A and B are shown apart, each in its own frame.
Chain A
């Protein structure tokens, strides 16, 4: 599967430290499988992004249930998760979340201790870019992954841009892989 280094917005180019490109879905899945405590951060645009499961919210729910991952729903999107009957979803704004993720003493949304991996998807491009920058610079012990269909230079690892159909496939393979390992 091809992955080009196309970013969401032309001017948002990377600094000297930039995300590793996730070469194939299995790599993302294995990073997630190896993580101790994952937070899946889902932004307000998830509802507009079509996936095999319906939209990105449905995919997030599927992903979370496969590995008992906690979902942080940003913006006001937690209401939508709730309407779809998802459990274990925490509504928290992206600013409040970013601020806490950089704090190694934060005990997490469920008081279960700090997260070692935060997986991002569905935020407005520039907002995710900035929060990932905050974490890249100020949360050295947190690993971050972006699963959006674009390259996010400030993540630790990021998918690249692919034609929409391919990306839908990639995402599905990541979730299937998690389910297999679940």
Chain B
């Protein structure tokens, strides 16, 4: 089919194609003829599941879900989604539509993941449409140096090899149509079985990674971001990195286009040195990928505190993780707000089609509090001009001072409502008592633990500006908040995969740890840096993205160095790899996919089950989203689950209300086929869980070490992994791990330096050598090469 002039045509063809694919293997040939362009032949044959529909991978999902049974912790016992309700679903009650509590919880998990995946998909759509409009559909993809597999998710899921922006458009259309169907299944009176909902959760997670990949490889290709470069430049990070003497533009959100145009305008006008551009959240990552001189102020939790500092002269928001009271906060400091996305208009007048200078005048003269401008280029010009004109007028705007805070603290009634509202239960009331007497130490210490949610302020009957008071008390700390982060490098190069694939699969590199997700930390972001350093020292590969990548950079050693300055950015043992923003997470799972494809030569094209089976049984990758907060984090995790990659979240992650937990004591759950013989053998609980919330950071650290074990580990590899697990368990629990006997398959697995202790522990547990097999492991019957 060659006639592809319009986008509509592409979409029509694609929906036809998806329809055809929903049937059995037999229709492939026909379909290929119909959609000749995107499913052209390349050296790799088309695998069994191109453009999988919702049920195409259900069997695989159910295999995983039979090992990792959902444990539901309802966050709400009611359902109020239709007018039959509210329904009380407590215990064994059913809703008026017949749904059970388990069904409802899985339904809500699916809804959350659909929200998350939609956010990424919409982001990808807006990015792609803009880039196609500006640069043309045939703009080639150029993702990473030394790389042939440019889009592992798209190849794996859709079954074609994208070469241009137009190809990405096709893949994205598929994702969009699937999300609509998944969302439809949450309507009253559709899905009734919780495991079917869970399978759909996995499906939307898989789609999410395709969408993220599309968004990121499009922007990398066109906007000149680092192309998988291990030595991507270092950028400034932190509140203290901002030169407050200059006009300052604050950008917040996730879609970088408006920020790119701000930087472009500054460059074109020769003003880059005169205006500060700083970002919060993933827009900051991506602006720094575009130009390393842009500042990364911090993760989402810095939003309220940075606006309250009064520093930004103009605030530009795009989409996702933007506080919905941002306009209110901007008004407090007299800075205009520019909204740039249809996703978040904030009630502002649409000035997209007005003359830039007219908009500037209205904003500077404060005739309007802000403007909606849906044209990134115009945003660039307006934001810069407003910042430069308004900055001198705003010079009087100062953040709350310490003395004023002390005075305000005297109004505290000691009602304790703030602490009850605080997700981290912080001792605000006690801090107020001390502050009223001039002792600000406790108030200042809250800065490191506070996620700046502002819930305490809403609860306070005295309307005390608690966040600003904490800021004031911590002003010295804030001024010193300046460190280095390596800007997001994007994908992992094929050559890197080739070099480390073997060591990862055989377990000699003990694991790949991905530190990802938001900033809803129970005790501050320092914990993320602590986890990173623990495993860097142990020569794991540590990859990072999003707010977690920032949290890692914010901790400095005595010499003022961050981990990015101490560890190289290579994807190799002891490397610390910042891939970039949230959408760059696709490169982390993409690396796991590439290990199966490039190192192990497993066919990639539309071959999801086999690749997932490979990763699950062989690649010791673990994700940790210590501060996971958003629905996006949930759908990203879901994409990991379907690939068999376990994810650990912090304690707040329990609010996702469903864990996927294995039961190590149930031997029957831990059987696999030996692909060599077809025999079903016991491999021990590796990896033990698929989705797990840890209560403490120490618990999480030990769990990371444990979850890297895979049935395919060689004895040498297993011994290395066990040595980390045992060492960490002993450090924090003060004894040998009680489940050690489930991970030692033979004497050769025993770490040499711990032999005596391990042998004693094994004896106590009644361990017998050889009970746990070392097969060529697979869950897929069709991969058995020879039957017994």
Q: Is the CB of B699 within 8 A of A93?
A: yes
Q: Is the CB of A91 within 8 A of B738?
A: yes
- The interface bits of chain B over 686-708 (1 if a CB of A lies within 8 angstroms of the residue's CB, else 0) are 00010011111011001100000
A95→B695 CA distance, assembly (Å): 9
- Asked if B71 is an interface residue, CB under 8 A from chain A, the answer is yes
Max chain A Cβ within 10 angstroms of own Cβ: one of B88, B101, B420, B421 = B420
Q: Is the CB of B732 within 8 A of A76?
A: yes
**Cross-chain pairs A/B with CB under 8 angstroms, 26 sampled:** A7-B420, A9-B420, A9-B425, A15-B90, A16-B77, A16-B90, A74-B695, A75-B695, A76-B696, A77-B696, A78-B734, A79-B735, A93-B699, A95-B71, A95-B694, A96-B661, A99-B69, A99-B661, A125-B425, A130-B75, A130-B654, A130-B655, A133-B74, A134-B71, A137-B74, A137-B101
Chain B interfacial positions (CB closer than 8 Å to A): 69, 71-78, 88, 90-92, 101-102, 417, 420-423, 425, 459, 522, 651-652, 654-655, 657, 659, 661, 663, 689, 692-696, 698-699, 702-703, 732-735, 738
User: Contacts A79-B734, A95-B659 hold; do A134 and B72 have CB atoms under 8 A apart?
Assistant: yes
Q: Is the CB of B73 within 8 A of A131?
A: yes
- The interface bits of chain A over 35-77 (1 if a CB of B lies within 8 angstroms of the residue's CB, else 0) are 0000000011000000000000000000000000000001111
- Asked if A102 is an interface residue, CB under 8 A from chain B, the answer is yes
Q: Is the CB of B91 within 8 A of A44?
A: no
- Asked if A123 is an interface residue, CB under 8 A from chain B, the answer is yes
Out of B75, B417, B689, B698, name the residue touching A75 (CB < 8 Å): B698
Q: Is the CB of A16 within 8 A of B734?
A: no
Taking the closest CB of chain B, its distance from the CB of A131, in whole angstroms, is: 6
Q: With contacts A9-B422, A76-B733, A82-B735 known, what are 19 further pairs, Cβ within 8 A?
A: A8-B420, A10-B421, A15-B78, A16-B88, A17-B91, A74-B695, A76-B699, A91-B738, A93-B699, A95-B659, A95-B689, A95-B692, A124-B522, A126-B423, A130-B655, A134-B73, A134-B74, A137-B101, A138-B72
User: Contacts A99-B659, A127-B695 hold; do A15 and B654 have CB atoms under 8 A apart?
Assistant: no
- Asked if A112 is an interface residue, CB under 8 A from chain B, the answer is no
A10→B695 CA distance, assembly (Å): 21
Q: Is the CB of A91 within 8 A of B71?
A: no
A98→B651 CA distance, assembly (Å): 14
A9→B663 CA distance, assembly (Å): 32
Taking the closest CB of chain B, its distance from the CB of A140, in whole angstroms, is: 6
Max chain B Cβ within 10 angstroms of own Cβ: one of A6, A100, A134, A137 = A137
Q: Is the CB of B651 within 8 A of A127?
A: yes
A180→B583 CA distance, assembly (Å): 61
Residues of B within 8 A of A140 (CB): 91-92
- Asked if A83 is an interface residue, CB under 8 A from chain B, the answer is yes
Residues of A within 8 A of B694 (CB): 75, 93, 95
Taking the closest CB of chain A, its distance from the CB of B495, in whole angstroms, is: 39
Max chain A Cβ within 10 angstroms of own Cβ: one of B73, B689, B693 = B73
**Chain A residue nearest to B100 in the complex (CB):** A137
Out of B90, B459, B702, name the residue touching A17 (CB < 8 Å): B90
A82→B651 CA distance, assembly (Å): 24
Taking the closest CB of chain A, its distance from the CB of B107, in whole angstroms, is: 15
Q: How many residues of A contact B (CB 8 A)?
A: 41
Max chain B Cβ within 10 angstroms of own Cβ: one of A83, A91, A93, A102 = A93
Q: Is the CB of A78 within 8 A of B733?
A: yes
A98→B73 CA distance, assembly (Å): 9
A43→B69 CA distance, assembly (Å): 24
Residues of B within 8 A of A126 (CB): 423, 651-652, 654-655
Residues of A within 8 A of B703 (CB): 93
Q: Is the CB of B695 within 8 A of A93?
A: yes
User: Contacts A75-B695, A83-B734, A98-B71 hold; do A6 and B420 have CB atoms under 8 A apart?
Assistant: yes
A127→B655 CA distance, assembly (Å): 8
Max chain A Cβ within 10 angstroms of own Cβ: one of B69, B425, B459 = B425
Taking the closest CB of chain A, its distance from the CB of B659, in whole angstroms, is: 5
Q: Is the CB of A10 within 8 A of B417?
A: yes
A43→B703 CA distance, assembly (Å): 17
User: Contacts A76-B733, A130-B655 hold; do A137 and B90 have CB atoms under 8 A apart?
Assistant: yes
A97→B371 CA distance, assembly (Å): 52
Residues of B within 8 A of A94 (CB): 695
Taking the closest CB of chain B, its distance from the CB of A130, in whole angstroms, is: 4
A98→B693 CA distance, assembly (Å): 12
Residues of A within 8 A of B102 (CB): 138
Q: Is the CB of A79 within 8 A of B732?
A: yes
Taking the closest CB of chain A, its distance from the CB of B60, in whole angstroms, is: 23
A93→B738 CA distance, assembly (Å): 13
**Chain B residue nearest to A135 in the complex (CB):** B73
Residues of A within 8 A of B734 (CB): 78-79, 82-83
Taking the closest CB of chain B, its distance from the CB of A56, in whole angstroms, is: 15
User: Contacts A124-B695, A130-B73, A137-B74 hold; do A79 and B733 have CB atoms under 8 A apart?
Assistant: yes
- Asked if A136 is an interface residue, CB under 8 A from chain B, the answer is yes
**Chain B residue nearest to A94 in the complex (CB):** B695
**Chain B residue nearest to A78 in the complex (CB):** B733
Residues of A within 8 A of B733 (CB): 76, 78-79, 82, 91
A8→B112 CA distance, assembly (Å): 26
A123→B522 CA distance, assembly (Å): 13
Residues of A within 8 A of B702 (CB): 76
Residues of A within 8 A of B699 (CB): 44, 75-76, 93
Residues of B within 8 A of A100 (CB): 663
Taking the closest CB of chain B, its distance from the CB of A114, in whole angstroms, is: 14
**Chain A residue nearest to B701 in the complex (CB):** A76
User: Contacts A44-B696, A95-B659 hold; do A102 and B71 have CB atoms under 8 A apart?
Assistant: yes
**Chain A residue nearest to B696 in the complex (CB):** A75
**Chain B residue nearest to A153 in the complex (CB):** B77
Taking the closest CB of chain A, its distance from the CB of B523, in whole angstroms, is: 10
A137→B194 CA distance, assembly (Å): 15
**Chain A residue nearest to B91 in the complex (CB):** A137
Q: Is the CB of A95 within 8 A of B652?
A: no
A138→B655 CA distance, assembly (Å): 17
Taking the closest CB of chain B, its distance from the CB of A99, in whole angstroms, is: 4
Interchain residue pairs A-B with the least CB separation, the first 5: A15-B77, A134-B73, A75-B695, A130-B73, A79-B734
Max chain A Cβ within 10 angstroms of own Cβ: one of B77, B420, B695 = B695
A129→B696 CA distance, assembly (Å): 16
Q: Is the CB of A43 within 8 A of B695?
A: yes
